[in-house]
Amino acid sequence: MQLKGLFTPLITPFNDNNHLNFSTLDALVEIQIESGVAGLIVGGTTGEYYTLDDEERETLIRRVVARVNGRMPVVAGINALNTAEGIRRAKQAEDLGCDGLMMSPPAYSLPQQHEIESHFQVVADATPLDLILYDFPDRAGVTIEEETVKALAAHPSIVGIKESSGDMSRLLSLMGQDLGDFRLICGCDDQAADHLWWGVETWISGSANIFPREQAELLRLAAAGDQAGLREGMRGMLPVIQSMESGAYNQKAKLGAGLRFELPVGDVRQPLLPLDDSEVENFHKLMESFNGE
Amino acid sequence: MQLKGLFTPLITPFNDNNHLNFSTLDALVEIQIESGVAGLIVGGTTGEYYTLDDEERETLIRRVVARVNGRMPVVAGINALNTAEGIRRAKQAEDLGCDGLMMSPPAYSLPQQHEIESHFQVVADATPLDLILYDFPDRAGVTIEEETVKALAAHPSIVGIKESSGDMSRLLSLMGQDLGDFRLICGCDDQAADHLWWGVETWISGSANIFPREQAELLRLAAAGDQAGLREGMRGMLPVIQSMESGAYNQKAKLGAGLRFELPVGDVRQPLLPLDDSEVENFHKLMESFNGE
Amino acid sequence: MQLKGLFTPLITPFNDNNHLNFSTLDALVEIQIESGVAGLIVGGTTGEYYTLDDEERETLIRRVVARVNGRMPVVAGINALNTAEGIRRAKQAEDLGCDGLMMSPPAYSLPQQHEIESHFQVVADATPLDLILYDFPDRAGVTIEEETVKALAAHPSIVGIKESSGDMSRLLSLMGQDLGDFRLICGCDDQAADHLWWGVETWISGSANIFPREQAELLRLAAAGDQAGLREGMRGMLPVIQSMESGAYNQKAKLGAGLRFELPVGDVRQPLLPLDDSEVENFHKLMESFNGE
Amino acid sequence: MQLKGLFTPLITPFNDNNHLNFSTLDALVEIQIESGVAGLIVGGTTGEYYTLDDEERETLIRRVVARVNGRMPVVAGINALNTAEGIRRAKQAEDLGCDGLMMSPPAYSLPQQHEIESHFQVVADATPLDLILYDFPDRAGVTIEEETVKALAAHPSIVGIKESSGDMSRLLSLMGQDLGDFRLICGCDDQAADHLWWGVETWISGSANIFPREQAELLRLAAAGDQAGLREGMRGMLPVIQSMESGAYNQKAKLGAGLRFELPVGDVRQPLLPLDDSEVENFHKLMESFNGE
């Protein structure tokens, strides 16, 4: 899988009955492709994977793969609470025609590092698909420590790590390791320009649901060495991104995408709840400020 | 449901093929009942619920309910990543004849307090069964704040909270609130004597898989006001409990139960991995020290 | 030094000119003695040592030692940012006639464990006075880890540790170590009853500035095995203590002592600032509730 | 004061008797000036201020001011445990001819935000010198929250903040605030290139004791827009800087400076302790790798 450029962990649109909204889903896929995005993650955290039942999961992946139809790689988010489920989801993704996999350590069970390492290795061994690690300790309850990353980077089909800890010192430390062609991937949207400036070439961006074209453009500016453009582009998006990261990330990803592309993406599913009116209004104002630039 | 006394979140035994081991399961149930335990949690954290598929889950609950056959209450652990799944599991537990439910906030999705509150309320409204809250922030990634506990304690079928934060100051603060007949439940095994001394009458104890009789006895000593006995009993178990809480809790729960009751409880399932030989030996020594007292 | 019973880290009273208020200081000492307190800490954290200049420090210690005049032990708080200063303060305390010393690891410089261990040893070696360790990681930025406590407990003049981490599991773990006649000391006022119940015989209590008689009585109840009395006494003070621990500890210690003993103890010194009117009023109400019992 | 460029918080050299080593001090000052550094901090954290007595403090500042003799600004580190001491140190610095002040919130006493704000304001009001805020929560126990920074930035003589939290997201957020000519200052050496790239023009660098010329050059490269040079220069220093930040920062600052400039800078003072032989050897190897580039 070509793991370079902007990858969008796609929001999962629901209709008024709280079912998958296929027409909006198709429209979102087309918007992402037209915007110059390099690839999609389906069934990821921003896609509220943890609210999908097994049938919905399969239907969702199948639909996105079909709609994309080879125009870009499709990566399946395969977070699982245990290793066997991770393997099942990996094989399902392979069967459904996905190009890659992304997975965090299992949440809740607090595995130790050697257990995290084995979990990823066993899942990676189960399919020929490329696997992206995902480090987001606030969610998973555990981090993938640097030594574990180094060990896993040696696996032929473990191809990169989405860094969402927000710890720039960790990124700089990992950049100093010899990790071969294992990719460090920006997973911290507000720090994206820093990642790109340091030579990171991949960005998995939840906020690309709102800013696909602008963020794909950021990657081009970075590759072209246009520093002023990179900073200016980043600065323009920061207020919205910072608002997302301050709370209600998923609600705002949907709100922003719906607003920007005039699509009925629907609400988040419970346990998350829609924003209240004043929160919606505040976020709208931030969006308008962006548009007004 | 009578929510008083020692409740054991039962380990889930597996056989050599890594399937549910029914004969050991039955034997464990009998041991717990004979030991004077007040109730069982099935499909809880110590039961590695996060490694069970849907069919195993149903089979496990059905088997335990049948074996117990009304001799004590059976509570289903119904942790779920989303609210709809929580409702399904609550109804399943009701259908299978359980007497109560226990649930932590959804892991991974980092819900805010109003979302945590709604999650519990919606699930509690879905069945007539009593629901026990479970606060274990290290695992869930979020805590159930005191104000949220107070709000939920007013719900007629939300009957208590298993306190596993390890924060004694929080317990003392909650004890100062007027929570009606809502029960504060010890969920921190090494601090059990303190809870009991303060008047807590319920203990949900993972280490009761190893020490059912001794811990049931602790509750009797506490009720009888036998302070010296309570302290001495607690002190005797502390080295084993502290070892469990220092890491590999589930592995040691199984190791200890298997050793003590000479039953083939099997290994933990992945993502957790069995202890290595020297860890097993160290834990055996701790167990022997206890037996030698 | 007899290190048993209730020790009060005395507030330092200031007059309207923000100078030491000697007459109030004398009155406070008498109140503490009459109340049955076992000893005093002068120049401790509750005494705002960090706001005293060298001359005030000497004057304060001299005055308290003179006033006490052998009626109870006087311990000097000798927190220091470096080891040489710790030695100077230890020798000063010895010269001024103190009976013991209390010291936390140096704040700000983030020493490692072997540096913390050496810091305490070198200071303890500098005088014949008994030294009490003080673990309060939120303030010092570092903790005295259990292994370090064990090593230091072997020093002949290091006689105990004031436990202010609020971590009951740590206390239970330390109690399981063979520390000879090294004393574990309650330094977490809201958890005092638990400490006493477990056999801890010493309590260094900032809130004893407000409740000297009641807390000395708690220790007597604990020694007499009066469980109901111990719990009832603790419960009565908890609302005030919990308010103190939730913020503005020093301000409330002064406010409460001034109110209770009708003494002009004065305000805290900057960087701390007096409470605003509504905070004062709220704390007064808590005090009145206590008095009204 | 011109607050632009590289400022070095100078190590404080000691001789074999553990007294200030004036000849080395003079030599260090000259090296810093010759290396193109923009200014010096004397009596800062890297200067082990917390181990200096009052007389040494005065002597040290006087000597550095005299030696510099107007060739660059000299900033006094004036960290103080209370506000009155902060004022005294500010006035002392003014009297001794310093050009500016730098101060963190008071350690140990855990002031609230309004108390932190007042502390800085009162000290800033006490002298005409410019004051630099210093945010290093791991040391001080408290952070200067963004709202407090905004309030303080409005003070005419509070001119900037040294950001040492290591939190790049906080920097990006502060950059989005309208802070007038208040300067954000890099205080996190491993993240310096990121700060410079974003337009930060001031770097207060403990590791500039080792790399004064190289880091001054980094600032020039950044100003000239030489991205490749900036990254390459940063990469070269990162192994040494990351080693410093991983532990024993002050010991390594001294070790590296002594090694590089062949000067007897002496050991750190206690509570810190010199590195053991193997740690020294490891750090020497890192230094040699740098030199060998």
- What's the Rg (C-alpha) of chain B? 18
Label the pairing between strands C100-103 and D5-9: unpaired
Q: Where do the DSSP E strands lie in A104-181?
A: 130-135, 158-163
The answer to whether D238 and D194 have CB atoms below 8 angstroms apart is no
Tell me if B172 and C242 make a contact (CB, 8 A cut-off).
Answer: yes
Task: Mark whether C91 is an active-site residue.
Answer: no
Binding positions of B for pyruvate are: 46, 204
Look at residue C90 and tell me whether its pLDDT is greater than 90.
yes
B47 at A interface, C-beta within 8 A:
no
Tell me if B194 and C194 make a contact (CB, 8 A cut-off).
Answer: yes
Neighbours of chain C (3+ CB pairs under 8 A): B, D
What is the least distance, in Å, from the CA of C40 to any CA of chain D?
21
By Cβ distance, the residue of D169, D190, D231 closest to A166 is D169
Q: List CB contacts (< 8 A) between B269 and chain A.
A: 82-84
Residues of B classed as catalytic: 134, 162
Counted across chains A and B, CB pairs separated by less than 8 A come out at: 105
The answer to whether D98 and D75 have CB atoms below 8 angstroms apart is yes
Q: Where do the DSSP E strands lie in A35-153?
A: 39-42, 74-77, 100-103, 130-135
By Cβ distance, the residue of A173, A190, A193 closest to D169 is A190
Burial classification of residue D286, based on how many CB atoms lie within 10 Å of its CB (0-12 exposed, 13-18 middle, 19 or more buried): middle
CB atoms within 10 A of CB A217: 18
Tell me if D84 and C269 make a contact (CB, 8 A cut-off).
Answer: yes
What is the average pLDDT value for chain B, to the nearest integer?
97
Give the domain ranges of chain B: 5-291
Tell me if A270 and B109 make a contact (CB, 8 A cut-off).
Answer: no
Q: In whole angstroms, what is the distance from residue C141 CA to residue C115 CA?
A: 14
Q: In whole angstroms, what is the distance from residue D35 CA to residue D23 CA?
A: 18
Nearest to residue C10, comparing CAs of C51, C38, C46, C57?
C46
Look at residue C293 and tell me whether its pLDDT is greater than 70.
no
Amino acid at B25: L
Q: List CB contacts (< 8 A) between A271 and chain B.
A: 82-83, 105-106, 109, 111, 115-116, 118-119
Q: Where does B5-291 sit in CATH, by number?
A: 3.20.20.70
Say how many CA atoms lie within 13 Å of A175 toward its Cβ: 27
What ipTM was reported for this prediction? 0.96
Q: pLDDT tens-digit profile of C94-140?
A: 999 999 999 999 999 999 999 999 999 999 999 999 999 999 999 99
Q: In whole angstroms, what is the distance from residue A229 CA to residue A235 CA?
A: 10
Q: In whole angstroms, what is the distance from residue A200 CA to residue A203 CA?
A: 8
Tell me if B194 and C190 make a contact (CB, 8 A cut-off).
Answer: no
Q: pLDDT tens-digit profile of B225-256?
A: 999 999 999 999 999 999 999 999 999 999 99
pLDDT in tens, chain D (293 residues): 999 999 999 999 999 999 999 999 999 999 999 999 999 999 999 999 999 999 999 999 999 999 999 999 999 999 999 999 999 999 999 999 999 999 999 999 999 999 999 999 999 999 999 999 999 999 999 999 999 999 999 999 999 999 999 999 999 999 999 999 999 999 999 999 999 999 999 999 999 999 999 999 999 999 999 999 999 999 999 999 999 999 999 999 999 999 999 999 999 999 999 999 999 999 999 999 997 65
Look at residue B293 and tell me whether its pLDDT is greater than 60.
no
Nearest to residue B175, comparing CAs of B152, B205, B195, B148?
B195
Q: Which of A50, A91, A162, A285 is catalytic?
A: A162
- The pLDDT of residue B198: 97
Q: In whole angstroms, what is the distance from residue B46 CA to residue B60 CA?
A: 14
Q: Where does D5-227 sit in CATH, by number?
A: 3.20.20.70
Q: Where residue C24 falls among pLDDT bands split at 50, 70, 90?
A: very high
Task: Mark whether C162 is an active-site residue.
Answer: yes
Q: Find, in chain C, the residue whose alpha carbon is nearest to that of D136.
A: C108
The answer to whether C76 and C130 have CB atoms below 8 angstroms apart is no
The answer to whether B50 and A82 have CB atoms below 8 angstroms apart is yes
Tell me if D139 and C139 make a contact (CB, 8 A cut-off).
Answer: no
D194 at A interface, C-beta within 8 A:
yes
The torsion angles phi and psi of C131, rounded to 5 degrees, stand at: -120, 130
The answer to whether D43 and D56 have CB atoms below 8 angstroms apart is no
Tell me if C197 and B166 make a contact (CB, 8 A cut-off).
Answer: no
By Cβ distance, the residue of A169, A176, A239 closest to D191 is A169
DSSP state letters, A183-206: EEEE--GGGHHHHHHTT--EEE-G
Amino acid at A103: M
- The pLDDT of residue C104: 98
Q: pLDDT tens-digit profile of B41-59?
A: 999 999 999 999 999 999 9
Look at residue B3 and tell me whether its pLDDT is greater than 90.
yes
Residue of B18, B48, B83, B110 to mutate, interface with A, max A Cβ within 10 Å: B110
D238 at C interface, C-beta within 8 A:
no
pLDDT in tens, chain A (293 residues): 999 999 999 999 999 999 999 999 999 999 999 999 999 999 999 999 999 999 999 999 999 999 999 999 999 999 999 999 999 999 999 999 999 999 999 999 999 999 999 999 999 999 999 999 999 999 999 999 999 999 999 999 999 999 999 999 999 999 999 999 999 999 999 999 999 999 999 999 999 999 999 999 999 999 999 999 999 999 999 999 999 999 999 999 999 999 999 999 999 999 999 999 999 999 999 999 997 65
B292 at C interface, C-beta within 8 A:
no
A47 at B interface, C-beta within 8 A:
no
Look at residue C292 and tell me whether its pLDDT is greater than 90.
no
Among D residues 161-180, those touching chain A with beta carbons less than 8 Å apart: 166-169, 172-173, 176
Tell me if A271 and B115 make a contact (CB, 8 A cut-off).
Answer: yes
Spatial neighbors of C218 by CB under 8 A, at least 6 apart, are C6, C192, C193, C196, C203, C230, C233, C234
- The pLDDT of residue D293: 58
By Cβ distance, the residue of B173, B176, B198 closest to C231 is B198
Q: Find, in chain C, the residue whose alpha carbon is nearest to that of D273.
A: C115
- The pLDDT of residue B291: 76
Q: Find, in chain C, the residue whose alpha carbon is nearest to that of D46.
A: C109
Tell me if B273 and A139 make a contact (CB, 8 A cut-off).
Answer: no
Cα of first residue to Cα of last residue in chain B, in angstroms, is 36
